[in-house]
Amino acid sequence: RKEVEQDPGPFNVPEGATVAFNCTYSNSASQSFFWYRQDCRKEPKLLMSVYSSGNEDGRFTAQLNRASQYISLLIRDSKLSDSATYLCVVNPGGGSQGNLIFGKGTKLSVKP
C-alpha cells in the first residue's frame, strides 16, 4: 500500500457544484495532515491544515478520520478558479518527522 493515495481524477464539475476528494494514508502514527493546491505549471501552495475536529475555511472543509486513516476535502459552490491539482500531504512523524509525504494529487476542472 502506498504511503499516501489519492484518486488522480480528473474531476470535471460544473460551476456551483460541490465536490469532495479523499486521501488515504498508510502510517497510523502520522502526525499531521494538509491539503496543498498546485495550479498548472506553478508551485504548490498550502490550502489548509486538517484537524481531527474538522475545519472550514469559506467554501472549503477538511476532515480527518484517524480510525479509517483518511482525510477529505470538500469544496462547495465550485468556481472556475478552483481548477487545479489538490495534493494531500502527510507528516509521518517518528524518525522521519519533517519529511512531508505528498500524494500524487487529484486534478479538478471546473467548467462554465
Partner 1 sequence: DTEVTQTPKHLVMGMTNKKSLKCEQHMGHRAMYWYKQKAKKPPELMFVYSYEKLSINESVPSRFSPECPNSSLLNLHLHALQPEDSALYLCASSQDYPAVTGELFFGEGSRLTVL
Site for partner 1 in 50-79 (CB under 8 A): none
Query: Is 18 or 51 the residue whose CB approaches partner 1 more closely?
Result: 51
**Angular region, 31: left φ>0, alpha ψ -120 to 50, beta rest:** alpha
The DSSP annotation for 9-38 comes to --EEEETT--EEEEEEES-TT--EEEEEEE
Interface with partner 1 includes 105 (CB under 8 A)?
yes
Binding-site member from 71, 87, 108, 110 for partner 1 (CB under 8 A): 87
Query: Is 8 or 16 the residue whose CB approaches partner 1 more closely?
Result: 8
User: Which of 59, 53, 65 is closest to 18 using CA atoms?
Assistant: 59
In whole angstroms, how close is the CB of 98 to partner 1 at the nearest point?
3
Cβ atoms 100, 4 nearer than 8 A: no
| Binding region for partner 1 (CB under 8 A) out of 52-60, 62-70, 73-81, 99-107 | 99-107
Interface with partner 1 includes 89 (CB under 8 A)?
yes
Interface with partner 1 includes 83 (CB under 8 A)?
no
SS3 state of residue 96: helix
Cα radius of gyration (the chain): 14
What does the binding site for partner 1 look like in residue numbers (CB under 8 A)? 8, 32-34, 42-46, 49, 87, 89, 91, 97-100, 102-105
